[in-house]
């Protein structure tokens, strides 16, 4: 097993806001690939313990940040969950991805973009709506248990959702606690318990942010978003989606519908039978299995593109 190092820092967005970052750096230099990871709702990058180190041990440099409103990027209680509207969320992604693209260009290796849960939905939205000049430099897109629809057992009542949207227009930064059922996160009860006890998982959104998150999910589930097959690096969009069919947080069937609608030459839907929501944190061999699947997919697509000279 190769040694890895980690580096913490801050990324400054164009509006001056600073987000906490963490990078897992492989011993191999240059790395096989650079990999940007986007976390989920009420989460932060230091809770993705086993997966990022496993990727780095396989020569993949992992870059992540606590998104605006979450984790260590929250410096006062007033900004908890203050993600801004969807445009802000996607613009923040562009800013961070652009900074990593500068590194990957110097290393002459590809960049991959992955997200989990809310972050997985953001990655799919970004693959559809991101700036073409950025998308054309991303080798592959990965989504783990993406938020395409909330599971029916946890979906808010229509009246509650309507009232929240109405209030959000008047008080966009008003806070609303939206707790997750920690028993539905993973089959290992310790995972849910750790989530519940972590003070950085504040489970507090703003009315504006929560409405934007649900709007993005509804749009993905509506059938209106079709990813463009030629949008990715080398004129090809490569897509890998993973979902546990026992996920009680994000709806597995909605993800399956979205995947089946996409007309892409290189797409894969990895189903984890009986697994819950946090695939990267299942116990023991399952945690390693998920990381190995990600590594395998990334490595298989990290070589020189067809019709080009090797960049390694």
Task: Flag whether 263 is in a domain.
Answer: yes
Task: Flag whether 311 is in a domain.
Answer: no
Task: Flag whether 309 is in a domain.
Answer: no
Q: At what angle do helices 158-170 and 207-221 cross, to 10 degrees?
A: 130
Number of independent structural domains in the chain: 1
Cα angle value 302/304/307 (rounded, 5°)? 140
Task: Flag whether 67 is in a domain.
Answer: yes
Q: For 70-77, what is the mean pLDDT?
A: 94
Domain housing 171? 4-300
pLDDT of 309 over the 60 cut: no
CA dihedral (273, 124, 248, 194) in degrees, to 10, reads 100
Task: Flag whether 310 is in a domain.
Answer: no
Task: Flag whether 75 is in a domain.
Answer: yes
Task: Flag whether 312 is in a domain.
Answer: no
CA distances from 129 to 125, 126, 239, 273, 281 (A): 6, 5, 15, 31, 30
Output the pLDDT for position 308: 41
Task: Flag whether 42 is in a domain.
Answer: yes
pLDDT in tens, 90-105: 999 999 999 999 999 9
- pTM for this prediction: 0.93
Q: What is the CATH number of the domain that holds 175?
A: 3.40.50.1820
| Spatial strand order in the sheet of 266-272 | 4-12, 18-26, 60-65, 33-38, 111-116, 140-144, 238-244, 266-272
pLDDT in tens, 3-39: 899 999 999 999 999 999 999 999 999 999 999 999 9
CA distance 244 to 240: 14
């Amino acid at each position: 097993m190769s040694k890895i190092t980690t580096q913490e820092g801050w990324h400054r967005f164009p509006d001056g806001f600073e987000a906490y970052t963490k990078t897992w750096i492989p011993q191999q230099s240059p790395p096989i690939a650079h990999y940007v990871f986007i976390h989920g709702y009420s989460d932060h990058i230091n809770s993705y313990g086993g997966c990022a180190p496993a990727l780095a041990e396989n020569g993949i440099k992992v870059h992540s940040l606590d998104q605006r409103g979450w984790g260590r990027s929250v410096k006062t209680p007033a900004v908890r969950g203050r993600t801004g509207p969807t445009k802000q969320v996607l613009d923040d992604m562009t800013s961070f991805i652009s900074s990593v693209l500068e590194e990957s260009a110097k290393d002459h290796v590809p960049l991959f973009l992955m997200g989990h849960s809310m972050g997985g939905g953001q990655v799919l939205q970004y693959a559809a709506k991101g700036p073409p000049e950025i998308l054309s430099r991303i080798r592959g897109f990965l989504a783990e248990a993406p938020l395409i629809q909330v599971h029916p057992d946890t979906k808010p009542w229509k009246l509650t959702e309507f009232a929240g949207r109405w209030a959000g227009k008047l008080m966009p930064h008003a806070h609303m606690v939206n707790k997750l059922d920690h028993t539905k996160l993973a089959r290992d009860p310790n995972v849910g318990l750790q989530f519940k006890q972590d003070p950085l998982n504040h489970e507090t959104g703003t009315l504006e942010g929560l409405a934007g998150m649900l709007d993005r999910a509804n749009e993905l589930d509506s059938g209106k978003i079709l990813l463009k097959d030629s949008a990715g690096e080398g004129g090809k969009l490569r897509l890998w989606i993973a979902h546990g069919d026992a996920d009680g947080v994000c709806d597995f069937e909605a993800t399956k519908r979205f995947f089946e609608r996409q007309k892409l030459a290189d797409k894969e839907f990895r189903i984890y039978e009986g697994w819950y929501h946090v695939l990267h944190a299942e116990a023991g061999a399952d945690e390693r299995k998920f990381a190995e699947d990600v590594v395998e997919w990334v490595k298989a697509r990290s070589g020189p593109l067809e019709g080009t000279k090797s960049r390694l």
